[in-house]
Amino acid sequence: MASDHSGHGSRKSCGAHVELVRNETTRITRCGCGQVHLTFLRNGVSVQLSGEHFRELAQGVAEADAEANPGTEGVPFGARVN
């Protein structure tokens, strides 16, 4: 069952979404209620996070990528990719 932002387990619509990023594996949007939605396109799993928690997740993923792939040139955290 999908979850609303209150954690009560019922689905509710949170308004129109603005797409922030989309690639072959993920789609990231921000909805009208301020939540960031991270959707994994291959399996359809979607995670809703506050902006602060999304930033923490993104920084953690960037740090893990740097550890897992030393010596590769990645995109610096916070940089915009066009």
Provide the token pair at 47. Answer: 């995670």
Secondary structure class of 33 (helix, strand, coil): coil
| 6-45 pLDDT per residue, tens | 443 445 667 889 999 999 999 999 998 889 999 999 999 9
How confident is the model at residue 71, as a pLDDT?
79
- CB 38 within 8 Å of CB 47: yes
Phi, psi for 15 (deg, rounded to 5): 100, -170
Question: Who has greater pLDDT, 40 or 2?
Answer: 40
Local confidence band at 1 (pLDDT 50, 70, 90 cut-offs): very low
| 36-82 pLDDT per residue, tens | 999 999 999 999 999 999 999 999 998 998 888 887 766 665 555 54
